[in-house]
A and B are shown apart, each in its own frame.
Chain A
Amino acid sequence: MTRRSVVDRAGTLIGLVAVALLFGMLVGRQFYEPGNLELMARQASIVCVSAIGMTVVIAAGGIDLSVGSIIALTTVVIALALKTGMSPPMAALMGIGAAAVCGLVNGILITRLSVVPFIVTLGTMLIIRGAAKGMAEERRVEAPFTWLNDLLRTDRGPLLVPTGIWMVIGAALVIAAVLRYTRFGRHLFAIGSNERMARLCGVAIGPTKIAVYTLSGVLTGLAGLLQFAKLSVGDPTVGIGAELDVIAAVIIGGGSLTGGRGSVAGTMMGAAIMTIIQIGCAQKGLANWVQQIVTGVIIVVAVALDRVRSAKGR
């Protein structure tokens, strides 16, 4: 990590520490107990892994509103696959594969039709949600119990935290490396920062964008797998509005909707901030509406601070 990106991320880190201290004081010492931290990590994992995908999309100057629907579709596909007697790893792959196809379709539509990503993914958000409901016949899909359901279960064994959390950490490391150490990563930031320059420089804009949305699909599929583990059924109505939480995590983490900026570390801190507020409010006995207002304020403050900082940079 370079000096500059450390400075860039300091704001988010300060916010994270402040929120953690605040709720530590409000709730008490037990807020920092390992069990409670693990609870928060489990809670954050689904939004977090999807937000890592969204970070890539937003850094490339796009947006993906269909992630909530993709999560639902993934749970349904996994449940249906398990029901037909497929092995758990195959079922998980089927689910993630379906999510990848959704991302691929998003990417192809955006590049081939040259329609803005907001509109395309608004459309596919409805289409994928509808497809999930159709496949599930508008019901929850019961599935036989397998080890997939243990992905987010507390593990007292050598792993310390649930397997699912390790999966999120692994995905974060891989994507952070891809963004920083690959040509694909440099190209997608170039597209997000200035698409005309990217074109001038001979960056293959279409294929890069398609890859970006497909990657987002895969990571959202992983989020769907974790969602399935949490629910242990396929639920076509799960994750409605999740795209907004996911986008919020990226924005709080320093991503810019105008593209060219965003980092995995920032996004993970953003997701952590939102989760601490959620769990903290719940444990303090504050109503859900308080929690929503606080989260909303954090988003606006984060973006406002960011504007001030980038204005100073000019």
Chain B
Amino acid sequence: MRGVRKAFGATQALDGVDLEVGAGEICGLVGQNGAGKSTLMAILSGALQPDAGEMRIDGRPYAPRSPIEARRAGVAMIYQELSLAPDLTVMENVLLGAEPTRKGSMSLLVDWTAMRTQAAAALAQLGHDDISPDAIAGELSVAQQQLVEIARALAIGCRVLVLDEPTSSLGRADVERLFDLLRRLKAQGQAVVYISHFLEEVKAITDRVVVLRDGRNAGGGSTAETTSDAIVTMMVGAAPAELFARSERQPGDEVLHVEAFEPGAASFTLRRGEVLGIAGLVGSGRTRFLRALFGLAPVHSGRVRIGTVGHAGGPRDHWRAGMGLVSEDRKDEGLALGLGVADNLTMTRLEPFGPAGVVSPSRQHRAAATWIERLGIKCSDPDQPAAELSGGNQQKIALARLLHHDVDVLLLDEPTRGIDVSSKAQIYRLIEQLARGTADRPAKAVLIVSSYMPELLGLCDRIAVMQRGRLQPPRPAAGLTEHELVLEATGAPGRG
């Protein structure tokens, strides 16, 4: 792949990226969230088309217009979420779309005997003839299902195998087995692209490493000659432009107290006028922790105090207690895209708009219009469906909901994911204002989850790292560097 570019609206997701992988080589692709790894792989696998750049396989030009074309050309992706048909047997899955047919049946009748043999052969090639071709895919372990997917890739004659975070749901022994398998495939002359957040894995299995940052190549080289420290430096890059203006803030009353909370193994307190950051990789358990804290996911154990009262219950109780959540999943959970701006913005607190269950649309619109103006949300009118707004404006609606409700504790999960720079800056300023407080509104307490470290360093007073499901104790942000945070989040001492 050479000089690949891709822009989404105003965002340049890829800006001239090169990637090369040879037969019999395992190439590691690393970079922080949002560095462009996923976009690059989507282009390689035909799910997206590049704006510019060229791709070649075995020297021949390669320009897939769909994942099917990519597969035919020999590029197979194994995603984090497995894509097997869980009700079908292993052999049906392995040969899906390439079923052998009986001679003389005009390709209408499936040749089950040939199917079983071919599937068994593909599994044997992986050194895993312990998986029966007749087993139901959904009943296998996750590690076995992953093997079935790899077998499928091989059965269709794949030349380049792309693995996206393949170990995220595997146990330690399974990881070892997967690595053995990858070495075996390498010996057979396969080209493998290995994407992972975990540097120790990249160090262990890859021959070469390519680092992406902000949609560009940020360096790389032979894995043996590159230290983890050097890789992190390439991932982090230079200090970001100054988007953050932090004022002097005075921590006030304690408003949130979390003790021995599971999931997350979390203990901390949060005061008014304080911004606490949770750093961590996608999938490290930070979102699950935040959702459990808000009553959207099951709580296993622990104590939570909001204000002065102990607390448990669903989202409704949390809103009442003065806590609000902005979901990381804006489209599926954060907003109802089909509904208007005003409905989305005021849904948690319709009570002020009329007596006894009545909602006066004009009063609802007036309240929404206030927030639309104050946050600079660009929309034609408060009834405009949220779907028609840009990501940045949608996110401002989700945030404005918390302001309309006037909560004391704001839980923000990836509040600036996938939005444009100017909206980001506005949201940063807003968070800053909320934490500082104004004459008529007391300071709020803010808890931010983010995988973008400069954001946390710029906004937060204290930062805690979520590492494989366990929240480390918060530390003052002033003494931390992005380098340290990335190293701590990507390292996995608990597993060593």
Contact = CB atoms under 8 A, between A and B. Distances in A.
B439 interface: no
A314 interface: yes
In the complex, the 3 A-B pairs of residues with the closest C-beta atoms, listed nearest first: A202-B316, A193-B336, A194-B336
A304 B434 CA distance: 47
Interface in A178-211: 180-187, 189-190, 193-194, 196-204
Interface centre among A2, A201, A313 (most CB of B within 10 A): A201
Contacts of B358: 181-183
Interface string A164-178: 000000000000000
A199 B315 CA distance: 7
Interface residues of B, number: 39
Given A202-B316, A202-B318, A197 B336 contact: yes
B403 interface: no
Given A182-B357, A201-B401, A190 B336 contact: yes
Contacts of B332: 194, 196
B228 interface: no
Interface string A256-281: 00001100000000000000000000
Nearest to A196: B333
A198 B317 CA distance: 14
**Main SS class of interface, A:** helix
Interface stretch (B116-124, B342-350, B444-452): B342-350
Nearest to A202: B316
A189 B327 contact: no
6 contacts: A182-B357, A185-B359, A187-B347, A197-B335, A202-B319, A202-B320
Given A194-B336, A200-B327, A202-B316, A313 B385 contact: yes
Nearest to A258: B338
Contacts of A156: none
Interface of B: 296, 314-320, 325, 327, 329, 332-340, 343-344, 347-348, 350-351, 354, 357-361, 381, 383-385, 387-388, 401
Nearest to B348: A201
Nearest to A189: B339
B384 A4 contact: yes
Contacts of B296: 199-200
Given A197-B336, A202-B316, 5 more contacts: A4-B384, A182-B358, A185-B359, A196-B332, A202-B317
A198 to B, nearest CB: 7
Contact of B333 (A182, A189, A194): A194
A180 B353 CA distance: 13
B339 A193 contact: yes
B70 to A, nearest CB: 26
Contacts of B325: 200
A189 B343 contact: yes
A201 B338 contact: no
A56 to B, nearest CB: 15
B333 A204 contact: no
A180 B334 CA distance: 23
Most chain A Cβ neighbours within 10 Å, of B334, B339, B385 = B339
A126 B296 CA distance: 36
A182 B359 contact: yes
A211 to B, nearest CB: 11
Contacts of B381: 3-4
Nearest to B320: A202
Contacts of A201: 315, 319, 347-348, 401
A205 to B, nearest CB: 10
A184 B336 CA distance: 16
B338 A198 contact: no
Nearest to A261: B338
A136 B388 CA distance: 54
Contacts of B333: 194, 196-197, 200
A190 B315 contact: no
A313 B314 contact: no
B315 A186 contact: no
Contacts of B334: 197, 200
B8 to A, nearest CB: 15
B319 A193 contact: no
A205 B381 CA distance: 28
Contacts of A196: 329, 332-333
Contacts of B327: 197, 200
B336 A260 contact: yes
B337 A193 contact: yes
Given A181-B361, A202-B316, A194 B350 contact: no
Contact of B359 (A181, A203, A260, A261): A181
Contacts of B401: 201
B361 A200 contact: no
A38 B340 CA distance: 38
Nearest to A199: B315
